Amino acid sequence: MNTAAPNLIHLDGVTKVFFTDEVETHALAGIHLEIKTGEYIAIAGPSGCGKSTLLSILGLLDSPTEGKFILNGKSVADLPLSERARVRNREIGFIFQSFNLIGDLNVYENVELPLTYRGMKSTERKERVMAALEKVGMAHRAKHLPSQLSGGQQQRVAVARAVGGAPSILLADEPTGNLDSKNGEAVMELLRELHREGATICMVTHDPRYARHADRSIHLFDGRVVEEDGSKHRGEKELEESGFDVSH
């Protein structure tokens, strides 16, 4: 992590309360979090601790009940729905556990769709889509439907869709949750490669094997940050990226 890098995300006192049948559920309580440009963050914690709620707020899929959310220097906590959608499309790339590909669209069309919403010219869309598919090793499957792909291949396409628009940050919600260990490790290696190329990544994971690849881990419990640590010393990260086994 480059400590001199600017803050991409700043959360100050973010709280989220859900109201159902006169019952208040405090999903997040006073979250303070900063993510710098180019940083790789893992959010960990037990089921129900608020990980997915936090990621939904970071992705502008939900709004905090209280608190400040600054993205790229601009307050986004209280944006109207139309503006939130525009910011999501341009600033945020999503990678979901369940892939969320559209079954009636082929690989190329799935990756292209978010760019179409921007009103981008077809020539630029084609360049971006093919570059993203090349990056994840799926250009040769551009005309295939999601149903014709393995789970690991579908997740690679989902990563291509996320990076095709050159977002400010990639948000990954348990990206290996529906994959076997071999495909899961392949997707994690893909995320590590994107990070080495400069991508900012925030990943929710329950697996400590994957969390340790991040620059920093945020541990949640009952909607609060209970621990924050650098999951790997810089020297260890550099050795691993050079091909050395540092697991012992």
Cα–Cα distance measured from residue 206 to residue 55, given in angstroms and rounded to the nearest whole number? 14
1 Cβ contact partners less than 8 Å away, ≥ 6 residues apart = 36, 38, 39, 40, 215, 216, 230
pLDDT at 131: 95
**How many percent of the chain have pLDDT more than 90?**
73
Nearest by Cα to 38 from 231, 200, 224: 200
pLDDT at 197 exceeding the cut of 70: yes
Mean per-residue pLDDT for 83-101?
A: 93
DSSP 90-117: HHEEEE-TT----TTS-HHHHHHHHHHH
Domain map of the chain by residue range? Answer: 40-56+81-241
Confidence of residue 211 (pLDDT cuts 50, 70, 90): confident
Q: Does 103 or 245 have the greater pLDDT score?
A: 103
Mapped onto helix, strand or coil, the DSSP state of residue 54 is helix
- Domain spanning 40-56+81-241 has what CATH number? 3.40.50.300
Higher pLDDT, 171 or 209: 171
Note the pLDDT of residue 17.
94
215, 39 contact by CB (below 8 A): yes
Q: Is the pLDDT of residue 188 over 80?
A: yes
Residue 233 has pLDDT above 80, yes or no: no
Task: Tell me: pLDDT of 47 over 90.
Answer: no
Asked whether residue 33 carries a pLDDT value surpassing 70, the answer given is yes
Can you say whether residue 228 is alpha, beta or left, with left for phi > 0 and alpha for psi between -120 and 50 degrees? beta
Contact criterion met (CB below 8 Å) for 108 and 140: no
| Residue 230 clears pLDDT 90, i.e. is over it | no
Summarize the confidence of residues 182-200 as an average pLDDT: 93
